[in-house]
Structure 1
Amino acid sequence: MCLAVPGQVLTLLGDDALTRSARVAFGGIVKEIALAFTPEARVGDYVLVHAGVAIAVLDAEEAAHTLAALATLAEDTA
């Protein structure tokens, strides 16, 4: 089973579409994420991240819904 998690783009790094990356916030954690599959991503956007790669850009409402579902899941397993 694979899991992709939404995060918010804080900064963009690089200009080349294939090697561009971003600093992305996941709650209180910030990671550098590859943006090769999401060249349209901009600062402030939410991206869906799997294995260090952004695989889709999400709107804020969809990201909030997914994050709420993940939080509920975490509460149920605690």
Structure 2
Amino acid sequence: MCLGIPGQIVEITDPERLMAMADVSGVRREVSVACVVTPDLQDLVGQWVLIHVGFAMSVIDAEEAEKTLEALRGLGEAQETLEAMAEGEAALEGTQ
């Protein structure tokens, strides 16, 4: 399964190489915008994109970005709960 994470383009860092800085939940990463290039790269600044392995794969709207980020947060919480349950189970097995 491929997982794309929403990020907002905040700056074009290298127009010749089609590279931009994206903010992903407060973490900035340089990504390639070759797949979403526009005639004027500056038009991408402020846009939300779906990022996968360092590439902006598609432009998405802010509402879709927020829904996706919320779902990813929920998955993180579910993972934490599963890990806590597994730890609790292991502790119980160790006391028997």
Q: TM-score, normalised by structure 2?
A: 0.73
Structure 2, gaps ≥5 residues long: 81-96
Over aligned residue pairs, what C-alpha RMSD do you find?
1.3
1:27 Cα deviation after fit: 1.1
Question: Is it true that 1:34 corresponds to 2:36 in the alignment?
Answer: no
- Percent identical among aligned pairs is 38
Shift of 1:42: 1.1
Q: What letter matches 1:29 in structure 2? A: V
Match 2:74 to one of 66, 72, 75: 72
4+ residue runs of structure 1 moved beyond 4 angstroms?
none
Q: Which runs of 5+ in 1 are unaligned?
A: none
TM-score normalised according to structure 1 size = 0.88
Q: Which has the higher contact order (CA 8 A, sep 6+)?
A: 1
What secondary structure sits across from 1:56 in the alignment? strand
Match in the other structure for 1:8: 8
Q: What is the CA-CA distance between 1:29 and the residue it aligns to?
A: 1.1
| Structure with the higher fraction of residues in helix conformation | 2
Q: Measure, in 1, the Cα distance between the counterparts of 2:53 and 2:8.
A: 16
